[in-house]
Chain A
Amino acid sequence: MSPTDALPKTGVLSPAFRYSADKEAFGSERPPRLRGLTRSELRLVFLRPRTAAMLGFLAFVPVMLGVALRYFHDGGSSGGGGGGGSMDFVNQVTGNGLFLVFASLAAALPFFLPMTVGVVAGDSIAGEAHAGTLRYLLVAPAGRTRLLLVKFAGVLAFCLAATLTVAVSALVVGAALFPMGDVPLLTGDTISMGEASWRALLIALCVAASLVGLAAIGLFVSTLTTVPVAAMATTVGVVIVTAILTGIPQLSAIHPWLFTDGWMSFGDLLRSPIPTDEIIRNLGVQTAYTAIFGAAAWARMTERDITT
């Protein structure tokens, strides 16, 4: 048998052109189709049992906080006149359940939220590489840049979902355990429940946006390794190191450059009028981190040899 026997009748390279000619030639379609893969990525992130466990854990944070304030709090007598940042909310919770949303976000933002984001972001590429699915996505061909964008979108979706989980759980627990009503702002004015709900949503978005820089760091770390646990631990480690750096006053010169520095700026949304400087600066810092680590992740991703 000679190799000629097996030659295609239609000519060697034509079958694919035949294929591209009939099905795929509706030229109006945008060249990089992101939607299908993004939907698939969202399904991947949110169908994963681990994600459900983490969201469940986050939903439990307001429950713990609410129960503690309802049953084990001595009525705010020890308040001490507006001491420091996040604790402002805590003393208000017993008077108004809506404050549990702010208190829970303030409690979850320094560690619980970043931890879960670190897990999802660290796992994003490294997990696929570890499981071997990365090679199949790339020969599909997903395209390395396209895959990275979709992965980042998936992590951002998780940031939002995680924040909203805390907020919604806090709202439910707050309504169940505490009186609800008009909300006194930190500046002394009072706003209606409706107005306060809008501010709560803005605060949740602001908290979610605060996690974007960390998400980009996690994505970059994830492109460096094929061991997902290492990428997750490194990303969470970055949060811990940053917290330590924040705690050293001698390093105050670098504090404004840390991605955690503006995290508590969401409290400004409870003032009237809203001072936007800190919020905008925080968004700027997150954007800068995203640009830097996103570019690094892209450079690494497009050069990387896929050997798993």
Chain B
Amino acid sequence: MTASTAVGTAAIRTEGLSKRYGRDRLAVDGLDLIVPAGSVFGFLGPNGSGKTTTIRMLLGLIRPTGGSVTLLDGPMPGAVGRVLPRVGALIEGPAHYGFLTGRQNLDRLDAADPTSDPRTRDARVDEALAKVGLTAVAGRKARAYSLGMKQRLGIASALLRPRDLLVLDEPTNGLDPQGMREIRTLIRELAADGTTVFLSSHLLDEIEQVCTDVAVMSHGRLITQGTVESLRAGTRARLVVTTPDAEAAVVVLGRLGASDIVTTRDGVEADPAPLEPDEVCAALVRADVRVRSFTLARPSLEDAFVALTGEGFDVTD
């Protein structure tokens, strides 16, 4: 593995992290998560897979029933006061005081941090508002903000100070396409400055675009973690042949040793497993199969995700 995952340079490390609600509902079960410092880390999982509970345990909001969390260099929730000033967070959507203005909302959160200097508070608040493009409406009551503006205000509070770690739960939720692009650009910029970004999202193309590493949760367990590339490599490419001679193609592929051969409306699909694609193509042509197109479909992160967590649409429990 690369240097960033070596011991001592993890921005987040959990060991056997568990949370049990009541007697038998295990929301998070023995999580061993390592978020390399400097990475943009995608945290994936279906609804109800324990992502939110995990994020809340990372930030000291929920006390684990087992295992440990190390955030930056401090144990959670013990080192909350020392570590959290260096962490910006957006958790399960923004929350504001509707009768306060955007600026007053940020002012309150900045005042809540006992290590922030009151003399530079106004400057910090203005800067954070500017970063998310809310300067023009800063004096308006938060109640009057649109969903996207509220989301921006939430992100602004995470950016009040230079952070070592940003924990962003669905940061582009409610944003228009331009807003999404802005946030992605912002995340890339922050990452380039050395901030570790822990990004929970169900928008897989978003994860694919900005993340270097991913972890996938399902049913309270960590199914896999690694680089985006390694996760994609986990699902094998699929051979897609368009041909009017599907039956002949099935015979040829079967003889060559391909597995999982399926006849489709306009051709054949198979898992080429041990075979080189050029050999397969040559063999098909030699057997007089009329090949109209021959593709090795590269799996998307979505395919990898579904392969890991299943197709089901039901909320897991």
Give the A interface residue count (CB, 8 A): 49
B115: Cβ under 8 A from any A Cβ: yes
**Chain A hits for B56, CB < 8 A:** 135, 305-307
B177: Cβ under 8 A from any A Cβ: no
CB <8 Å contact, B212 and A36: no
**Chain B hits for A48, CB < 8 A:** 99
CB <8 Å contact, A36 and B115: no
CA of A143 to CA of B114, assembled, Å: 8
Segment of A10-18, A80-88, A179-187 in the binding face: A10-18
B81: Cβ under 8 A from any A Cβ: yes
CB <8 Å contact, B104 and A140: no
**Shortest Cβ gap from B10 to chain A (Å):** 9
A72: Cβ under 8 A from any B Cβ: no
**Chain A hits for B114, CB < 8 A:** 31-33, 37, 141-143, 146
Q: Assuming the A-B contacts A8-B194, A13-B37, A133-B97, are A2 and B112 also in contact, with contact meaning beta carbons closer than 8 angstroms in the complex?
A: no
CB <8 Å contact, A40 and B80: no
CB <8 Å contact, A3 and B164: no
Query: What number of residue pairs across chains A and B have CB atoms under 8 A from each other?
Result: 158
CA of A131 to CA of B213, assembled, Å: 33
Q: Which of B9, B61, B72, B162 contacts A138 (CB under 8 A)? A: B61
**Chain B hits for A37, CB < 8 A:** 108, 111-112, 114
Q: Assuming the A-B contacts A305-B62, A305-B63, are A4 and B2 also in contact, with contact meaning beta carbons closer than 8 angstroms in the complex?
A: yes
Segment of A19-27, A110-118, A230-238, A283-291 in the binding face: A19-27
CA of A135 to CA of B92, assembled, Å: 10
**Shortest Cβ gap from B61 to chain A (Å):** 4
A47: Cβ under 8 A from any B Cβ: yes
Q: Assuming the A-B contacts A15-B164, A136-B157, A138-B60, are A143 and B36 also in contact, with contact meaning beta carbons closer than 8 angstroms in the complex?
A: no
On A, residues with C-beta under 8 Å from B are: 1-10, 12-13, 15-16, 19-20, 23-24, 31-33, 35-37, 39-40, 43-44, 47-49, 131-133, 135-143, 146-147, 303, 305-307
Least CB separation from B157: chain A residue: A136
**Shortest Cβ gap from A19 to chain B (Å):** 6
CB <8 Å contact, A136 and B109: yes
CB <8 Å contact, A9 and B95: no
CB <8 Å contact, A12 and B11: yes
Segment of B116-124, B262-270, B288-296 in the binding face: B116-124
CB <8 Å contact, B99 and A8: no
CB <8 Å contact, A43 and B227: no
CA of A3 to CA of B1, assembled, Å: 10
Q: Assuming the A-B contacts A146-B114, A305-B62, are A16 and B164 also in contact, with contact meaning beta carbons closer than 8 angstroms in the complex?
A: yes
Q: Which of B97, B112, B193 contacts A8 (CB under 8 A)? A: B193
CA of A13 to CA of B164, assembled, Å: 7
**Shortest Cβ gap from B129 to chain A (Å):** 16
**Chain B hits for A19, CB < 8 A:** 86, 161-162
**Chain A hits for B162, CB < 8 A:** 15-16, 19
CB <8 Å contact, B2 and A2: yes
**Chain B hits for A307, CB < 8 A:** 56, 61-62
B107: Cβ under 8 A from any A Cβ: yes
**Shortest Cβ gap from B311 to chain A (Å):** 29
**Chain B hits for A49, CB < 8 A:** 99
B91: Cβ under 8 A from any A Cβ: yes
Q: Assuming the A-B contacts A13-B72, A138-B60, are A6 and B84 also in contact, with contact meaning beta carbons closer than 8 angstroms in the complex?
A: no
B260: Cβ under 8 A from any A Cβ: no
CB <8 Å contact, B120 and A23: yes
**Shortest Cβ gap from B152 to chain A (Å):** 15
CB <8 Å contact, A36 and B84: no
- Interface of chain B residues 58 through 96 with chain A (CB within 8 A): 59-63, 72-73, 80-81, 84-87, 89, 91-96
